[in-house]
A and B are shown apart, each in its own frame.
Chain A
């Protein structure tokens, strides 16, 4: 039993990483209607910025904050100078552009830092703690707490600030928002910037566990995409809950279902995604969109 609970908590923590990336994907999708395949590589490049600063002797926390600022500027810059040219055109073209960005940004990270995986310090102490007989790592608990805090902060931003109101308006209907005088272009840049910060948070949380390398978030991105679809592409809460769900199910299925094991566990969330999409095409928490014709 203790082992099962341990698996669940560890799954929760891994799921939090997927959740953070899925949240980034949902934020971008809600505002621009696109899926940004470069979300993971942008997070990786930002994590490398933290890594570079740590190498230079900058304290971990300061390096992370600098990486978040870099991520924000990177996200805003990508929207302003690359994606904006394709936003109003064919969505397929824009998606291909984000795939190109994914390869390009990962390439920059590789060029600057190489492919050799390197150790990245953890924000959390390496010990485990004993909660009612179950040993869970401080890293897992910390990761979960960070994601919950991020979610609460985002909710506060969207519900109680003028900026959040404006961002919701732009996500809902950019044209009407513009006609009300909202600076749509600037708000889209902020949205992409925030999403990139979420990617960077996922990066610095996962780097100590996987070692830092240009491809470290590739798997997480695949799971995050599944989480975003499973939860509903327009639902931030759905993305996080689906991220947790995937993390937990993946861990449990890998441990308890013999045929799945470690090799096949990546397929589990996709089987769930397939079933959910057949039953609820809008995702678990997504809103059904009706169009008057």
Chain B
């Protein structure tokens, strides 16, 4: 049984349909990439999984149907969503953001260890631990958003455009940390990314969305070797 299964998922904003029947499966400890142009439905796919947009079809997590459940309920089941635009809690300190991430956990000692792990992973955050999240740079906010998601000890992290608006070196650092996170915790990932090279640095499988439909899918190696993928997403 797959950890996360999407079967013929459709979603729309009002009367405008965005997804026209998406299906894919994610196994435990694996990372799935979703590539595509603007408006292809990448973000909507993640939003459908985490219950932020109404969808039809079937979405199962660990064998349980999660379609129609509220975002907070889905999060408590073990799916953490790092939304586009980061969604950090700007008026709260870095430490409080991390504590909010661990809200549903009861293991106080391990929570402190988790915070230490995140601060080792993102040393910039250690220096800013008492600052409000709104005072952080874009890269630091992205690091905080990833760290906050990780603090929930999820089984899947949905990562939406983590490189958006970041300098290339900062984006690389964020992805390096995510790779380490994955290696050390075994968390599965669904990675939405415009920058295919970055996505390919951490995913095992990927699919390409075109106007709400899956046009290509396969292993990272297969997709990275395809001419149309190279031309459209890897700069030739």
Contact = CB atoms under 8 A, between A and B. Distances in A.
B227 interface: no
Interface string A178-193: 1111111100000000
B71 A178 contact: yes
B103 A179 contact: no
Nearest to B85: A292
A178 B103 contact: no
Interface stretch (A148-156, A165-173, A208-216, A251-259): A165-173
Nearest to A181: B75
B231 to A, nearest CB: 32
Contacts of A136: none
Given A165-B96, A178-B75, A172 B90 contact: yes
Of the candidates A178, A184, A287, the one having the most CB atoms from chain B within 10 angstroms of its own CB is: A178
Contacts of A178: 70-72, 75
A88 interface: no
Interface of B: 50, 52, 70-72, 75-76, 80-81, 83, 87-92, 96, 99-101, 103-104, 148-149, 152
B71 A179 contact: yes
Nearest to B100: A169
B89 A162 contact: no
Of the candidates B71, B76, B90, the one having the most CB atoms from chain A within 10 angstroms of its own CB is: B71
Given A169-B92, A175-B87, A182 B70 contact: no
Given A162-B103, A185-B72, 7 more contacts: A169-B92, A175-B52, A179-B71, A180-B100, A180-B101, A180-B152, A181-B72
B236 to A, nearest CB: 32
B89 A179 contact: no
A179 B100 contact: no
Contact of B103 (A166, A173, A175, A287): A166
B90 A182 contact: no
Contacts of B149: 180
A182 B100 contact: yes
A96 to B, nearest CB: 24
A172 B89 contact: yes
A176 interface: yes
A134 interface: no
B87 A179 contact: yes
Given A162-B103, A165-B99, A166-B100, A177 B76 contact: no
Contact of B104 (A165, A176, A181): A181
Contact of B152 (A162, A169, A181, A184): A181
Interface of A: 162, 165-166, 168-169, 171-173, 175-185, 287
15 contacts: A165-B92, A166-B100, A168-B96, A177-B72, A179-B80, A179-B81, A179-B87, A180-B100, A180-B101, A180-B149, A181-B75, A181-B104, A182-B100, A184-B72, A185-B72
Contact of A165 (B75, B80, B83, B100): B100
Of the candidates A162, A169, A173, A179, the one having the most CB atoms from chain B within 10 angstroms of its own CB is: A179
A169 B100 CA distance: 7
Contacts of A165: 92, 96, 99-100, 103
For the complex of A and B, 5 pairs with smallest distance between CB atoms: A181-B75, A176-B87, A178-B72, A181-B76, A172-B89
Of the candidates B76, B80, B87, the one having the most CB atoms from chain A within 10 angstroms of its own CB is: B87
A176 B72 contact: no
B75 A179 contact: yes
Contacts of B103: 162, 165-166, 169, 180-182
A63 B148 CA distance: 44
A283 to B, nearest CB: 16
Contacts of A171: 91
Contact of A176 (B76, B89, B99, B152): B89
B21 to A, nearest CB: 25
Contacts of A182: 72, 100, 103
A166 B125 CA distance: 21
Nearest to B76: A181
Contacts of B91: 168, 171-172, 287
Contacts of A173: 87-90
Contacts of B99: 165
Contacts of B88: 173, 176
Nearest to A184: B72
Contacts of A185: 70, 72
Contacts of B100: 165-166, 169, 177, 180, 182
B92 A180 contact: no
